[in-house]
A and B are shown apart, each in its own frame.
Chain A
Amino acid sequence: MAGTTSKVTLAKGLNMGLRKAMEADDKVLLMGEDVGKLGGVFRITDGLQKDFGEDRVIDSPLAESGIVGTAVGMAMRGYRPVVEIQFDGFVYPAYDQIVCQVAKLHFRSQGRIKMPMVIRIPFGGGIGAVEHHSESPEAQFAHTPGLKVVTCSNPVDGYWMIQQAIAHDDPVIFLEPKRQYHAEKTELDEDATPAPLFTSKVVRPGSDATVLAYGPTVKTAMKAAEVAAGEGTSLEVIDLRTLSPLDLDPVFASVRRTGRAVVVHEAHVNLGLGSEIAARITEECFYALEAPVLRVGGFDTPYPASRLEEEWLPDLDRVLDAVDRSLEF
């Protein structure tokens, strides 16, 4: 058992994490569309039904509200349901159950009903898909009291964070950057001690400006930092990891040093996470700021047809452009 390391993709890391969670607690159930024999359309639940049976890895009818609503009942009965919403844009039929029931039952019942549920949502764009398959709905859930929202940017975090989310007693919206599922492999040490779930992480130290990213944009921010370094600019990159609650102490510490912050997300800029983060940085670091906090994100249009998505998504150049504007302010 000891010294278990392997090179895994995000998809594999999540799959291994789910398996660990199911082994650790037989109350953990998986439910969703095609999660059984097929292993999910992205294969995240591959092989789990074979090993844990149809009672624990449940292929559901094609009804998202039904999936989340029945998961509420299972959680009331003492189970820890992990539901998969097949794609971000298909979560809306379940929106009422998520914001009116999942998020509120603990509050409504004065803590007598617990909702230890994880709602896994593959999110973000860049896969050349048709409409509704590339969206970033995180702000809608982060805006809802009663929910917690996290996102992993890499295989190692995927492995640990999914287990931590399942073990957590509050409902967690777990966003998975689908573009990264089958991208590069990373060394995973299963014996390591993971960081706590609701913490952000400095993933590249720097001194001239702070770039905040999460999920799919962490990779973009890291690339931007690399290019900037070649041009003599030192960027600090922080992977936020948790979107609700936000863990901004490391961000404040960073911005107090750099005086500049750029937030990068794929979601629309208007009232996106970046708006809240900018407000909080302004409140906490007002006298340290050398420039206003800038936001780089999807434009305030619906997600475009895929031949245009690379224009729409914040890329390396748009991040660097914002960094330049911040530095020149």
Chain B
Amino acid sequence: MTHQDTGFGPDLVEVFGPKHEDGGPELIQLLTPEGERVHHPEFDMEFTAEELRGFYRDMVLVRRIDVEATALQRHGELGIWAQLLGQEAAQIGAGRAVRPNDFVFPTYREHGVAWCRGLDPLHLISLFRGVDHGGWNPHDHNFNLYTIVIGAQTLHAVGYAMGMQRDGVVGTGDPDRDAAVLAHFGDGASSQGDVNESFIFAASYNAPVVFFCQNNQWAISEPIERQSRIPLYQRALGFGFPGVRVDGNDVLATYAVTQAALQRARDGQGPSMIEAFTYRMGAHTTTDDPTRYRLSADVESWKLKDPISRLEVYIKRNGYADDAFFADLAEEADQLGHALREGTKAMPDPKPLDIFDRVYAEITPELAEQRDAFTAYLSSFEGSH
């Protein structure tokens, strides 16, 4: 597209850039791809060696879950798997910023955040194996079930946050009481009406919610340029709340920015949006073939920004962990992989009759009749083979 002088000023791309390989000058970063610690005037934080090792361990183990689940799908044990490869820092940074009283509304790719909320990874696996639609109790973990419809959960997040306001757990100044909601979505979802409506409702009611957008550059085969002509975080301003872009491959910056945004929400200062600028290194899901729509050179350039390697470089260079730490972690990851493989294969299939009793809090006579008829039908086969 060539620039035309329309009276609206210069071409939008010229104004808003940046190219999608680069988060641009507005990118908040505390750790460069080369593992250099840098500082930011607004979002700087100090981290202890223990905290750094914690982030590193989380990311390594979550990547292992992803690798194992992908392999299990290839072995026919899972119907499908949504890979998070490359998004470990965005998810661990956000997930570790959440407090126990906060509530998280995930997409279907939030395996790292699920890990931070203490979910058994087999609960994620069971969904993708087709055993259930999510086997965990959302109220036990303050972590909703995965939502498959793109962006629908952002409205639930705002409603939940409005409930928190009515429960008097926002802006009381008591850190053990105040809470907020973290709402996940992706760059593709930013085009959905529900996401835009959730922005409007959150702004209108000043709801304590942080909209956390992982911009992984791809909505299946469609690049971010198909969804937006401006950097996504800039949309927040149009809805009346602040937005920032953070390096989503930098776990330190993502943590710092998310915890600041959540605290702001808990304090009663309302919604904000974080665009975690990252890259989907894998396919959309195991059924997808990204070689049909993107260049391997792009993927190669993002490999240099790997979230785990940069933290590893930083930790090793500064002696924040010894060799034993890395050896123990490798062993722990192997054990986790083993447990996932064995746990998956040992998972019992669901019972056909269970579905009838889960539709309603109070089953209808019609459905009970269907269940009983199906029970009788099934039992008519007993002993016949």
Contacts and interface: CB of A to CB of B under 8 A. Distances in A.
Interface in B357-373: 357-362, 364-367
Contacts of B367: 145, 245
Interface string A43-67: 0000000000001000011010110
B134 interface: yes
Interface residues of B, number: 44
Given A66-B200, A107-B133, A109-B138, A73 B149 contact: no
* Residue picked from B134, B163, B200, B201, most chain A C-beta under 10 Å: B163
Interface string A188-207: 00000000001000000000
Interface string A25-51: 000010000000000000000000000
A69 B159 contact: yes
A246 interface: yes
* Interchain residue pairs A-B with the least CB separation, the first 7: A73-B159, A69-B155, A77-B163, A70-B159, A66-B197, A169-B361, A73-B160
B200 A72 contact: no
Nearest to A116: B361
B359 A69 contact: no
Given A61-B201, A66-B197, A79 B158 contact: no
Given A112-B138, A113-B145, 19 more contacts: A65-B155, A66-B155, A70-B155, A70-B201, A73-B156, A74-B159, A77-B167, A81-B159, A96-B194, A101-B147, A106-B359, A106-B360, A108-B134, A108-B145, A109-B145, A111-B358, A146-B359, A245-B365, A245-B367
Contact of A106 (B134, B139, B361): B361
Interface of B: 132-135, 137-139, 144-145, 147, 149, 152, 154-167, 193-194, 197-198, 200-201, 204, 355, 357-362, 364-367
Interface of A: 29, 55, 60-61, 63, 65-66, 68-79, 81, 93, 96-97, 100-101, 105-114, 116, 145-146, 148, 168-170, 198, 244-247
Contacts of B160: 73-74, 76-77
A93 to B, nearest CB: 7
Contacts of B156: 69-70, 72-73, 76, 101
Contacts of A73: 155-163
Contacts of B357: 111
B54 to A, nearest CB: 30
B138 A69 contact: no
Contacts of B134: 108-109
B194 to A, nearest CB: 6
Nearest to A60: B201
Given A108-B145, A109-B134, A111-B358, A61 B163 contact: no
